[in-house]
Structure formats: structure tokens, C-alpha cells
């Protein structure tokens, strides 16, 4: 009788909940259609880095097939801490970063998609990496920022209203504060627009 109270998956001794499985196996079945799916075997992530990513010689992006952060970059637990996969690959191929401030930069512009092709990785300064993001069109500026209230058209309209209304009146028209209007007109914000 006690056997029926334990998860029916071999080796799992957790209490059974639904369908004879424990809560974890039931959730995997619900999400993946298989109570054993969704779990990466121990050591698989580092094996992939060492056996697939580092020796990869093709020119196409190699996209990390496992867990990723909300920004799309591959993640792995390494030496007890979460680490960015592309940074581990860059260090393995190019040696340690020249300084603590250097970043693993992608020449392909697909880091946010999880590219871990060692041919696409190099060490660069934060400024150089930001310049790459502008070239690749992946830099979050202007209306691409999640908190942006204005669009390119609205910013251009704001600039065209300079001298016709007070900054406070323009701010009220567009739902932003006077300081934002001032920063836009002085090119402190949205400086990339002509």
C-alpha cells in the first residue's frame, strides 16, 4: 500500500500526486508531454561547451540550445555560480579578459539570440561592445528601450515646437516632464536623432 503513495518513476522516492507521479514529474508531463522531459543530464552543459561549441569551425552562428536568461544569452552553472556561456567560450578560446571591465563581444550581432560560436567572440571594452550593438541594430536606445514613452516621430515633433510653446506646455502635450523636453531639445536625450 505504501508503494502506491510513492512516485511511479524509477528512482524517484517523492510522494505521488497526480497520475501516480510526484509534483515535479507531473509538471514535466504537463509542460512537455513526458514526465522525464525537461531535465538536462548532469554535466551535459559543460560537455556541450567543450565538445560542440569550442571546436566549432563553421561561420554560421551556433545557438545555445539550453537555458537562457531573459536577455537571450546562454547560462550555465560553473564553479558554483551562474555564468554566461559566451563569456566562458570566449575565455577558453581567447584567454582571460585583458581587464575586469572587458566584455565578450559578438561580431555576428546575435549574442542576444544565444550565439556561442567561438569564431564570433572576442574581448572588447564596454564602449566597443556598445558600438557593435549600434552597428548590428541591437542597441536599445530610443523607442527600443522598454521604458520609452516617446517615439522618433514624437521627438522630432517636440524639437519642432521649440520656441513656439514653453517646455512645460510641450511636456504636457506629450505626457512627459519639462526636464525631459529640455534634455531632448539640448540633445542630451535622443542625441542619435539628427
Q: How far, in Å, CA of 88 to CA of 53, rounded?
A: 10
Identify the band that residue 95 occupies on the pLDDT scale cut at 50, 70 and 90: very high
Average pLDDT of every residue of the chain:
86
When comparing pLDDT for 133 and 84, which is higher? 84
In 3-state terms, what secondary structure has residue 35?
A: coil
Region 126-145: mean pLDDT is 73
Note the pLDDT of residue 130: 81
Q: Which of 100, 86, 19 lies closest to 56 in space, CA to CA?
A: 86
Cell output for 155: 521627438
Region 24-41: mean pLDDT is 79
Region 144-168: mean pLDDT is 83
Least confident of 16-20, 39-43, 74-78: 39-43
Instruction: Judge whether residue 145 has pLDDT over 70.
Output: no
Identify the band that residue 4 occupies on the pLDDT scale cut at 50, 70 and 90: low
In residues, how long is the chain?
Answer: 194
Note the pLDDT of residue 146: 59
Per-domain residue ranges of the chain? 2-32, 44-139, 143-185
What percent of the chain shows pLDDT beyond 90? 38
Eight-state DSSP code of residue 39: -
What percent of the chain shows pLDDT beyond 70? 89
Q: How far, in Å, CA of 168 to CA of 101, rounded?
A: 40
Q: How far, in Å, CA of 182 to CA of 132, rounded?
A: 29
What would you measure as the largest C-alpha separation in the chain, in angstroms? 84
CATH fold for the domain made of 44-139: Homing Intron 3 (I-Ppo) Encoded Endonuclease; Chain A (3.90.75)
In 3-state terms, what secondary structure has residue 97?
A: coil
Sign of the Cα pseudo-torsion (174, 179, 185, 188, in order): negative
Instruction: Judge whether residue 1 has pLDDT over 60.
Output: no
| Contact between residue 89 and residue 49 where contact means Cβ atoms under 8 Å apart | yes
Eight-state DSSP code of residue 112: G
Q: Which of 192, 184, 115 lies closest to 150 in space, CA to CA?
A: 184
Transcribe 53-99 into DSSP letters.
Answer: ITT---SS--B--S-B-TTS-BEEEETTEEEEHHHHHHHHHH-S-SS
Instruction: Judge whether residue 70 has pLDDT over 90.
Output: no
99-117 pLDDT tens trace: 999 999 999 989 889 999 9
Amino acid at each position: 500500500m505504501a508503494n502506491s503513495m510513492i512516485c511511479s518513476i524509477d528512482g524517484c522516492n517523492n510522494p505521488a500526486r497526480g497520475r501516480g507521479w510526484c509534483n515535479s514529474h507531473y509538471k514535466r508531463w504537463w509542460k512537455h508531454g513526458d514526465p522525464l522531459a525537461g531535465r538536462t543530464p548532469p554535466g551535459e552543459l559543460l560537455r556541450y561547451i567543450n565538445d560542440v561549441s569550442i571546436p566549432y569551425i563553421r561561420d554560421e552562428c551556433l545557438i545555445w540550445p539550453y537555458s537562457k536568461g531573459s536577455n537571450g544569452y546562454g547560462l550555465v552553472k560553473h564553479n558554483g555560480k551562474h555564468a554566461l556561456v559566451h563569456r566562458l567560450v570566449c575565455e577558453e578560446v581567447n584567454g582571460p579578459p585583458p581587464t575586469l571591465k572587458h566584455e565578450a563581444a559578438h561580431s555576428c550581432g546575435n549574442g542576444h539570440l544565444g550565439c556561442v560560436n567561438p569564431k564570433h567572440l572576442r574581448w572588447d571594452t564596454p564602449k566597443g561592445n556598445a558600438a557593435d550593438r549600434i552597428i548590428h541594430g541591437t542597441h536599445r536606445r530610443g523607442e527600443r528601450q522598454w521604458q520609452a514613452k516617446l517615439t522618433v516621430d514624437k521627438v522630432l515633433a517636440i524639437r519642432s515646437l521649440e520656441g513656439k510653446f514653453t517646455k512645460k506646455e510641450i511636456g504636457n502635450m506629450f505626457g512627459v516632464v519639462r526636464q525631459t523636453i529640455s534634455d531632448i531639445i539640448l540633445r542630451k536625450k535622443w542625441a542619435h536623432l539628427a
